[in-house]
Structure 1
Amino acid sequence: MGLDEAATKPHEQLAAHLTAKLDAVNELIRKRMASRHAPRIPEVTAHLVEAGGKRLRPMLTLAAADMCGYGGEFDVHLAATVEFIHTATLLHDDVVDESAQRRGRPTANLLWDNKSSVLVGDYLFSRAFQLMVETGSLRVLDILANASATIAEGEVLQLTAARDLSTTEAIYLQIVRGKTAALFSAATEVGGVIASAPETQVRALYEYGDALGIAFQIVDDLLDYQGDMSVTGKNVGDDFRERKLTLPVIKAIAAADDDERAFWRRTIEKGDQRDGDLDHAMALLNAHDTLSQTRQDALAWAEKAKSALAAMPEHSLRTMLIDLADYVVARIS
């Protein structure tokens, strides 16, 4: 889900503004991913944590807390918590998806094995909960525990709905809220909570993260059918070949006639894919204008994210977060 192709990079502006805090987060991550008895844990974790990720989710926590005037140290704990949860889910996802590459590098399950990836992911979840508890806030614990459960629930729902042609846009949205948006919204919400921000602002931060995460995932799904591999790092049509029901296809199936449904049933449900099927799938998406419709959905969610920040005080970070919402959808604008 690269964000490098637009002319300006709000996530880099955020990183520059939050340099000292991010350094503290990285130091805490290195400290807490250590294991005296199981050296494989830091080996596997470091492979993913230090693979060049943008730390977008931890930055959202730090930015939300800073914007709300927080002056303590627990924003660093929460930012590290969010990154640990994210890293744990990536380790587990790569096993479930049988992935061989992540951020342009071989996945941990490929370099080590599935057992190591699952168990190290479990270890990181445990470390995340230790960090949550150290804040002394039951509300923070509740938010992040619920997000962890929602993420797992979304992944299981995706397993059951992935190749079912009866999957609706509502189910897709529920999956996206689980697999992506839940951690975005938790990351921003806990930043406001730890800062003791007014409830209107805490709610606004939650809504911003939720809408930003949904826009982020819809854009990623759209780019699978019309992206540039040199930019996205993905081959066009990978989701189709992997029989994933993402939003452009769900929209096309909803508008399909009997012959078209038979095509989708053969290629997605049954996995009987032949030469020329991707081209035919693209033709159907274009015939029903579902790529354009999906683009409009992503833009609408980005606008919703920006609108949520109207409840926040004037602040340079608010401007950066608004720019970030625009930037997420800049690849399809």
Structure 2
Amino acid sequence: MFKLSEIQKPIANELAIFEDKFKESMRSSVPLLDRITHYIVKRKGKQMRPMFVFFSAGLCGSINEATHRGAALVELLHTATLVHDDVVDNANVRRGFFSVNALWKNKIAVLVGDFLLAKGLSLSIRNHDFNLLEIVTHAVEQMSEGELLQIEKARRMDIEEAVYFEVIRQKTASLIASCCACGAASGGAEESTVELMRQFGENVGIAFQIKDDLFDFGIDDVGKPLGNDIKEKKITLPLIYALQQVSKSEKRHIINLVKNHSEDAKKVHEVIAFVKANGGMEYAASKMLTYQQEAFDILTRFPVNDYRNGLEQLVRYTTERNK
């Protein structure tokens, strides 16, 4: 499998410049805000979203100042949603570190999220990047709708496959789609090409989320079943498929375990074993590879170069990663 450090090489200099610009975009005259945003930046993720922006821009035209602003816009709005999500989920940990709300409480976390959102909006408006702003704000709108759709459907504990795909398309795929569309638009691509790259990113995002769902039915570092989605009463693709393969009584039994016994480790293990015994893992993996291939098919419409190779490697990384 490709390492991210290897994938980044063609755009390593752009990412280094982006790091400095992103830090600057979060700067505030309020010392408390500066401390919190510094804490957030120090614990950043793998930079996958900026990578999609830069590779897409290079593939469809050129990497320029607008590309850097587009990458910063995506990261600012995404970071704002993560800070708010931790408040909504009452989560105390983010990427192995204390979340903002765990350290500074919910009120401050909400305000920090609002600040980051406003920073992203002002960055785009100040530079007249209205096309990029439209792309990214539409994604944030979809992410909110997807989260609410999942909450609404989770109450019934009987989500159909079509609803599942609509949820992950909005919640996860829309953001990666916006990264690729932003990159293409900033590079000067025509609207048809921007839309093509949006579709590419959506396919990657769906494959990425299915991979995450598959992880949840695995085993952690100390040999215990994971099952975090089950504990949170989330019905994902492996479980949806497995439930379709059994009798109504067995289906009711498994749904009851998820709904009423998700804190019981033995019951969680039973649900995981049920999914594996009824083909849920294989089915979800095949769907993931289908979306991966659709992403690859879109890339064949572009000339072979370092940027296309970088995107192909990123796609493989999303589906072959081990965590």
The answer, yes or no, to whether TM exceeds 0.5 is: yes
Q: Cα distance, 1:284 vs. partner?
A: 1.6
Change (3 A) 1:83 1:273: closer
- Match of residue 143 from structure 2: 151
State TM-score, norm by structure 1.
Answer: 0.89
CA contact (8 A) 1:186 1:209 kept: yes
Number of aligned residue pairs: give it: 322
Q: In the aligned structure 1, how far is the partner of 2:63 from the partner of 2:98?
A: 39
Asked if 2 retains the 8 angstrom alpha-carbon contact of 1:91 and 1:118, the reply is yes
Deviation at 1:314, TM superposition (A): 2.1
Q: 2:5 aligned with 1:23, yes or no?
A: no
In the TM superposition, residue 71 of structure 1 has moved relative to its aligned partner by 4.9
Counterpart position of 2:313:
323
CA contact (8 A) 1:163 1:245 kept: no
Partner of 1:202: 194
Q: Deviations over 1:263-318 (max 9, x none)?
A: 23322334565452122212221232011101111111111111111122221110
Helix, strand or coil at the partner of 1:176: helix
What's 2:291 paired with?
301
Provide the aligned C-alpha RMSD in A: 2.2
Residue aligning to 1:3:
none
**Is the partner of 1:226 in helix, strand or coil?**
coil
1:3-18 mapped onto 2 (5 Å cutoff): 6=1, 8-9=2-3, 11-18=4-11
Residue of 47, 54, 70 corresponding to 1:62: 54
1:166 is aligned to 158
Q: In 2, distance between residues paired with 1:135 and 1:169?
A: 42
How far the C-alpha of 1:147 sits from its partner, in A, is 1.0
- Corresponding position of 2:117: 125
Aligned to 1:241: 231
How much does 1:75 deviate?
A: 0.6
Distance 2:208 2:141 in 1: 20
Relative to structure 1, the CA distance from residue 134 to residue 305 in structure 2 (aligned partners, 3 Å threshold; closer, same or farther) is farther
- For 1:116 and 1:146, the matched residues in 2 are separated by 26
Instruction: State the alpha-carbon separation in 2 of the partners of residues 134 and 60 from structure 1.
Output: 24
Report the secondary structure of 2:8's partner residue.
Answer: helix
Shift of 1:87: 0.8
- Shift of the alpha carbon at 1:14? 3.8
Pair 1:222 & 2:225 matched? no
Q: Distance in 1 between matches of 2:234 and 2:321?
A: 21
Change over 3 Å in CA distance of 1:254–1:45 after alignment to 2: farther
Cα deviation digits, residues 186-213 of structure 1 (max 9, x gap): 1110111122213443222111111111
User: What corresponds to 1:255 in structure 2?
Assistant: 245
Alpha carbons 1:49, 1:87 under 8 Å: kept: no
The answer to whether the Cα contact below 8 Å between 1:229 and 1:236 also exists between their aligned partners in 2 is no
Residue identity in the other structure for 1:12: S
> In 1, are the aligned partners of 2:154 and 2:233 still within 8 Å (CA)?
yes
Distance 1:181 1:103 in 2: 20
Which amino acid is the alignment partner of residue 21 of structure 1?
E
Q: Aligned pair in 2 of structure 1 residues 304, 90: CA closer, same or farther (>3 Å)? A: same
Correspondence 1:42 to 2:46: no
Deviation string, structure 1 residues 129-185 (Cα, Å, up to 9, x no partner): 112224424322221121111111111112222342231111111111222111100
| Structure 2 CA distance for aligned equivalents of residues 170 and 41 of structure 1 | 42
Match of 2:255 among 265, 272, 277: 265
Q: Distance in 2 between matches of 1:32 and 1:71?
A: 19
Distance 1:137 1:279 in 2: 50
* CA deviation map 1:59-118 (0-9, x unaligned): 111111122232531111110111111111111111122222211111111111111221
AA matched with 2:54: L
Tell me the TM-score normalised to structure 2 length.
0.92
- Give the Cα separation in 1 of the matches to 2:292 and 2:63: 29
Report the residue type matching 2:81 in the other structure: T
Q: Give distance in 1, aligned partners of 2:45 and 2:225.
A: 20
Q: Distance in 1 between matches of 2:306 and 2:181?
A: 19
> Which segments of 5 or more consecutive residues in structure 1 lack a partner in the other structure?
1-5
